[in-house]
Structure 1
Amino acid sequence: MDPLSADSASPQGSVPSLQAQQDAAGLGTEATSQPIAKPLPEPEQTQLPTNSTLPTAAGAAPSSKADPSLPPDLAARQQLLIQADQLYQKGQREAAEALYQQAKEPFPGQSNVLPLAEPIFAPTSLPRAGQVYWRESEAGLQQKLQTRIFVPLGLLVKEYPQFVPGHLRLAEALTAAGKPEEALEVMTQAASLYPNQPEVQKGLIQQQAQGKKWLDAAITARQFTLLNPDHADALAFSQLAETYQQKFEARLRSDITNNTIGSVVTGALGIALTGNPLSGLSTLQTSILLLRGETAVGNAIAERTQRRLPMIEDAEVQAYVDRIGSKLTRLTGRPLDYQFYVINDEKLNAFALPGGKVFINGGAILKSQSEAELAGLMAHELSHAVLSHGFQLVTQSSATGGVTKFLPFVGGLLGNLAEADYSRDMEQQADLMGTRLLVSAGYAADGLRNLMVTLQQEEKGPLLPWFSSHPLSQDRIHYLEWLIIKNGYNRYAYEGIEEHQRIQELVRSQLKALKIEKDI
């Protein structure tokens, strides 16, 4: 039987159908206003600026030279990438890819990376040991013996994570045993392994909804729709996303009405927006802002940020960032009011506000070695906005008083951007979607991964601002490498060295001018 057709009468180890979840959530079958993401187009051909020169023939020397400050081996590598870019732009893709492969070494341990097994649903498809675990858990459920339930199921999901019913049964058993947080963790891990598998995502949504984590459930449903726009269940997931978003907003209105959120958020949000602890917004103002949704929150913070932080106003720099942003945003499947800003600050930093406002430090342009690396950073931040991670943190902060962790300046300290303390799950979701956007826009798939490797090698002093809120670890780099290999994403596509170098010079001059101005 098709696993997607399981309904609420299915045996333990399955989840209610999407229709059953919609009915439980109070959602009818008519279409909603939530837009459905269109299928991602084929990677587009990146256009070089009109003032760029191309080699006259395949294999001709590039028109610009590598950075003379680089060591000889890195300079030679950069020269290869420049020439490969030019051939790529001429449509000589095979010749370009040959040079990209010559310039890029395989990922460390790439030959040892095993592709993730395809999901299976029938117990008879399991190896003998897996079938034994499954039968033991069935016997344990019948006898209501927890040891006989949880030991074999734990071994089953560990040794055979591709067996989807194992995760579902373990989560259901944990819920029945009064361990909802452990059940949620089981489905969260399964969903990170199989983000495109609807049964797994339905199981996660079910756990989130049972815990009344309405915004989490909405984000999970939305992510499936965005990553799988042509899937038969895309519309149903979109409707679930809207339903749980409405439930979240209803609870938010109730919390504000009962004044359980206003006292905490008012002071913190007021300090962050005005830079003055004595000038906090009123409870009514804060309530209205939050109830108007993520776009209103993002707009309010973006306006204040532009007034309080020094911005790079060079038209060419802004056009460059806007061009990259446009290539990415048209692929997100979510019609937010996307805008991009460049801050005159040498620190490597970038952050996304709710509603699609993305701020990038000049230092991010200088530290990235190519357009693809900068695009990878921007795609990651865009994904946080598209998946509503920032708004989720703002609203959840009412319970912890941590709203100032999200907002971009606290207590009037202009240079100290205190960004969102994203969870590991949020980071993986943004890495997953960001890499998909990067590839679909025609860039080399390892853009963000390469930026992380470079910065990990350079980092010796205090933690860079971006990494204070986006934890960098070898595991995260390995996760990006695994994503690229597992999905067959192309590392040997457009890098964009020449134009990026020219923009870097403009950014350096802007940073230098600001420093001179401050010293006067």
Structure 2
Amino acid sequence: MAAAGVAEVALVKAEPREKVGAIAPIRETTGSAPAILTTAEPTVDGAVTTEISQKPDASEDAPVEPAVPPIEPVPDADEPDLESLPEAIATPEEPDPEAIPETPAEPSSDKPEATQEPEEELSPAEQERLRILTEADRLWQQGQYAEAELLYRKVKHPGQAIAVRDRPAPIFDPALLPPAGQVYWREAEAGQAQNLPTRVLVPLQLLTSQFPEFIPGHLRYSEVLLQQGEEEQIEQALLALEQATTLYPEEAELMRVRVTALAEQRQYLEASIAARQFAVLNPDDPTASEFTLLADTHLDDFQDRLRDRLTRNAIGNALTGAIGFALTGNLFGPLSAIQTSVLLLRGESEIGESIAGDAAEELPLLPDDEVVAYVNEIGQRLAAVTGRTEFEYEFYVVADADLNAFALPGGKVFINAGAIAHTNSEAELAGLLAHELAHTVLSHGFQMVTQGNLTANLLQFVPYGGIATDLVVLSYSRDMERQADALATRLLATSGYAADGLQNLMITLGEETEDYPLEWLSTHPDTAERIRNIDTQIASNGYNRYAFEGVERHWEMRRRVERLLPDEPEEKPEQSSTEGDE
């Protein structure tokens, strides 16, 4: 049984307190124009307030560009400052090893002193690659997307993906189809008249794959698949609709059919996310308000269903006392069955706020305003397109040299500063944040409790290195990891980052840590399979891997972190296996 007072901490909302390294929740402004995230100067206590301002309406004659580029075009941007990159590529002079970028606010007096100047060990090929990526990012920031893509293609693995803007313009009249496409369409109509599903599906599959610009083909294909009523056909229809809406995200009818299909399969959260993303990315569409209403409606459906499950399970939980939050430190103690039930019935945000508040006091948060603001800017940009606007997203940077991150229910994300030191670009770091955000957006941790797994702990705590609160591992299933990877990759693509940010992070870390696996990889199994799955997703959905990488600013932050943290993490004792990892 939990000690008295510990339970109160979890059940009663804590009073506001100063949290160095914590991020204030995002605030939204009203209006129909697309939102641009701006980050104000950090305050003395390390909190950064992020606001959403309005983006001017784009001209109808403007060329097709990514829906949410990470940085507004800057026509007269200066040449990139190569001195902020690793010393090996800052030519011709050696940079001042003591030069650290200035923080926007007054520097904190309690910042740790640098331990040792990090040494970059880049080969000439790596130096040249960073130089090209820096130039490509500069062009991307200026809105010169075609020129930037040419440079990205020089140094990035091609995969199979094709940039979305290379797709042909959508057509709706069968008479505008090439002869082969018209034949497919006539065959499908003939098969439908004879009520022969096979004769309908085969030509429609060929039509949608060879002539994806014909929107009625996607609508008819998914309709016939859904009418079959079999699980395999339903999954195929949902996949086809996702592919079609990715290729043509501005087509309201495609998105409406997809949202309806998801809701009919009781995938209410996915339906809500899809509807809200359309409304956010197409604010000038006359149906935007309709999709906002659909998003709210299906979110209510999702929460009602979750609440029903939770209520039923809470009764058994109160009788058996089987569930608890088991941690070995004093972060917060195990809760009684009734206390846990009351907390869970308050919802995801209440759980996340309770745990995050205690974790923020126990964990050694990084007292560097500029690094914290950098992580917050990336995280809030990704969070803005998740569709879960009821969460208050907060991002915390832990002063730990290992690469690790975890998300709590309700939009609370913790990331080690070592994650910056282990990543090569802003897109890779965004991939890590997007993956953790996906877990909280998809309510994975919360669903583990509500779906009957009441004998398992929601959080498993693994201490090491003398720090009582060093690692939190959520024992996600393989399906949950697959879903998080898929949503994270989609978030990257819709936020204007290179869609392969998460994939490249996994590849890089897999190569660098064969002998000593990093915590984040070791608790996320089957890395090779996940890399293949992401590559397939990028190719089949037409995500653009030749988009913004963000190497220059990231290397500034990387060098800053390396000065704040020890060069080598302390050797840690062998950890016990975590329950639920597969």
Same fold (TM over 0.5): yes
In the alignment, what sits opposite 2:405?
350
The answer as to whether partners of 2:399 and 2:416 remain within 8 angstroms in 1 is yes
Report the RMSD for the aligned CA atoms in angstroms. Answer: 5.0
In the alignment, what sits opposite 2:474?
418
Asked whether 1:302 is paired with 2:360, we answer no
In structure 1, distance between residues paired with 2:319 and 2:261 = 28
Give the direction of change, closer, same or farther, for the CA distance of 1:490–1:510 in structure 2 (3 Å limit). closer
1:294-443 correspondence to structure 2 within 5 Å: 294-303=348-357, 305-306=359-360, 311-316=363-368, 319-326=370-377, 328-329=379-380, 332-333=383-384, 334=389, 336-343=391-398, 345-371=400-426, 373-382=428-437, 385=440, 388-389=441-442, 391=443, 394-395=446-447, 398-399=450-451, 401=453, 407-409=458-460, 415=471, 417-418=473-474, 420-421=476-477, 422=480, 424-437=482-495, 439=497
In structure 2, distance between residues paired with 1:100 and 1:127 = 30
The answer as to whether partners of 2:392 and 2:410 remain within 8 angstroms in 1 is yes
In the alignment, what sits opposite 2:562?
504
In structure 2, distance between residues paired with 1:79 and 1:205 = 41
**How far did 1:193 drift?**
4.5
- SS at structure 1 position matched to 2:413: strand
- SS at structure 1 position matched to 2:155: coil
In the alignment, what sits opposite 1:190?
241
**How far did 1:325 drift?**
1.0
The answer as to whether partners of 2:499 and 2:538 remain within 8 angstroms in 1 is no
- Structure 1 residue corresponding to 2:282, chosen from 223, 228, 236: 228
Asked whether 1:39 is paired with 2:34, we answer yes
Provide, for residues 340-378 of structure 1, a one-character-per-residue CA deviation record: whole Å limited to 9, x for no partner: 223455543223333321111343122113455434433
The answer as to whether partners of 1:380 and 1:430 remain within 8 angstroms in 2 is yes
In structure 2, distance between residues paired with 1:264 and 1:128 = 67
Give the direction of change, closer, same or farther, for the CA distance of 1:490–1:247 in structure 2 (3 Å limit). closer
1:204-215 correspondence to structure 2 within 5 Å: 204-215=258-269
Amino acid corresponding to residue 351 of structure 2 in structure 1: V
More helix by share: 1
Give the direction of change, closer, same or farther, for the CA distance of 1:410–1:181 in structure 2 (3 Å limit). farther
In structure 1, the gaps of 5 or more residues are 1-32
In the alignment, what sits opposite 2:13?
none
Amino acid corresponding to residue 293 of structure 2 in structure 1: Q
Count of residue pairs brought into register by the alignment? 462
In structure 1, distance between residues paired with 2:84 and 2:252 = 46
Asked whether 1:105 is paired with 2:158, we answer no
Amino acid corresponding to residue 241 of structure 1 in structure 2: A
In structure 1, distance between residues paired with 2:273 and 2:357 = 26
In structure 2, distance between residues paired with 1:356 and 1:179 = 35
Give the direction of change, closer, same or farther, for the CA distance of 1:210–1:76 in structure 2 (3 Å limit). closer
In the alignment, what sits opposite 2:47?
none
In structure 2, distance between residues paired with 1:36 and 1:181 = 41
In structure 1, distance between residues paired with 2:150 and 2:178 = 39
1:59-98 correspondence to structure 2 within 5 Å: 61=93, 63-64=95-96, 68-73=119-124, 76-77=127-128, 80=131
In the alignment, what sits opposite 1:9?
none
Give the direction of change, closer, same or farther, for the CA distance of 1:134–1:312 in structure 2 (3 Å limit). same
Amino acid corresponding to residue 313 of structure 1 in structure 2: L
In structure 2, distance between residues paired with 1:100 and 1:232 = 32
Amino acid corresponding to residue 144 of structure 1 in structure 2: N
- SS at structure 2 position matched to 1:203: helix
In the alignment, what sits opposite 2:509?
455
In the alignment, what sits opposite 1:125?
176
Provide, for residues 38-84 of structure 1, a one-character-per-residue CA deviation record: whole Å limited to 9, x for no partner: 5144725999xxxx9889xx987463579645143256348848996
- Structure 1 residue corresponding to 2:203, chosen from 120, 137, 152: 152
Give the direction of change, closer, same or farther, for the CA distance of 1:420–1:428 in structure 2 (3 Å limit). same
The answer as to whether partners of 2:325 and 2:334 remain within 8 angstroms in 1 is yes
TM-score (norm 2): 0.63
Provide, for residues 274-322 of structure 1, a one-character-per-residue CA deviation record: whole Å limited to 9, x for no partner: 889xx86455544444443332232233245446xx7333412x64133
Q: Which segment is superposed worse, 349-358 or 394-403?
A: 394-403
